[in-house]
Amino acid sequence: MRLLWVELRDFRNHPHTKLEEVPEGLLVVVGPNGEGKTNLLEGMSYLFTLSSPRVSSNQPLVREGAEAGYVRGEVETAVGRVLVEVEIPGSGRASKVRVNRSPVRRKRDLRRDIRAVFFGPDDLDIVRGDPSQRRRFMDEALGALWPVKDAAVTGYERSLRQRNRLLKEWEGRGVPEAMQAWDAELVEAGSALMRTRFDAVDLLSSPAGRAFGWLAGYGLTCVYRPSVWAEGDQAALEAAFRARIDERRQDELMRRTSLVGPHRDELELAVRDLGARSFGSHGEAWAAALCLRLGLAEAVQEEMGEPPVLLLDDPFSALDPRRQGKVAEHLPGRGQVFISVADEAHVPPNADAIFEVSSGSVRLRGAA
């Protein structure tokens, strides 16, 4: 998979940036901090996913003073070319998306055809942050692997909100009359989500561990720890889920919240018998976060039959020189890979092209 060209207009600090005839291989975006490197990679990521990896709303994406931002580009895949055009209103309204000149309403309709994996400094929270950050990563992973299964996340969140509302508002004795129906909804949606999370972690854990192995010299363990589990088919898992809810019924009524389900899941990360939040160094935690994204990219390639576009924002900054070199050595052969660096010394000698960024303007190094 290859991004052939990309255009940003009034996106973040880019008044108008267009990269044409983007080559394959290892592509480096270099420039001082604050000049627009991360914004460029964010715009590319938006083109693939229709959401920002950095913020939850669209408003910060539109350049100050502009009514809307625009991202356009064309991606070459194994089955053909995909033209994506996005208008991002600054007013908080939903983005307008066209794929091959036709309107698209659902993100998954685009994600079925093109994929990208983004790494950024905020990914350190996956390793060092609370369990909600690792649950978010698992849900991002399943959406990248199987876009249609992204509905499992929204379906469970909807059931959980409704059930929690019932628990919070209940003032009577015993169990609310509607609880049985919401138990059934939670069990069905939650079991589907846990099974999909299990499959996603199963696919990415081995390549992530291998990547960490060649980077650090020892292994990274990634294990899914669901709130409730049962070996066997979906029916067995649903039965175990119902039984666990029954066990915690009085606790839930007392605390007025749901205590069993995927919202209590954990992704256990460990190196050298140390848990993720006890990693010995900042660089070690950073390497683990980077390798989780590299593992996800490899898993997506296994599922799709071609590598996703890989977008790595500032991957070298927390690594020592030896590990920086290791990463640079292993990035070629992973398809089209963009990395941003602030320091010229971090530009890999094996880069296939270098783009220089200054004040929201981008030029290909060596171009006339």
Beta strands in 253-319 (DSSP E): 266-271, 274-275, 309-313
The domain segmentation of the chain, as residue ranges, is: 1-115+310-368, 123-307
What is the edge-to-edge ordering of all strands in the sheet holding 102-104? 14-19, 2-11, 68-77, 80-89, 96-99, 102-104
CATH superfamily of 1-115+310-368: P-loop containing nucleotide triphosphate hydrolases (3.40.50.300)
pLDDT, position 106 = 84
pLDDT, position 302 = 96
Segments of the chain with pLDDT less than 50: 368
The closest of 328, 325, 318 to 351, measured between CA atoms, is 328
pLDDT, position 368 = 46
Tell me the pLDDT tens digit for each residue of 33-66. Answer: 999 999 999 999 999 999 999 998 999 999 999 9
Tell me the pLDDT tens digit for each residue of 288-325. Answer: 999 999 999 999 999 999 999 999 999 999 999 999 99
pLDDT, position 94 = 86
User: Is the domain 123-307 a CATH 1.10.287.610 member?
Assistant: no
pTM score of the predicted model = 0.94
Six token digits for residue 304: 């799709």
pLDDT, position 248 = 96
Q: Residue 213 in 3-state DSSP?
A: helix
Q: How far is residue 48's CA from residue 105's CA, in Å, rounded to a whole number?
A: 14
- 66-to-6, 52, 63, 117 alpha-carbon distances in Å: 20, 18, 6, 28
Task: Say yes or no: do domains 1-115+310-368 and 123-307 share a fold.
Answer: no
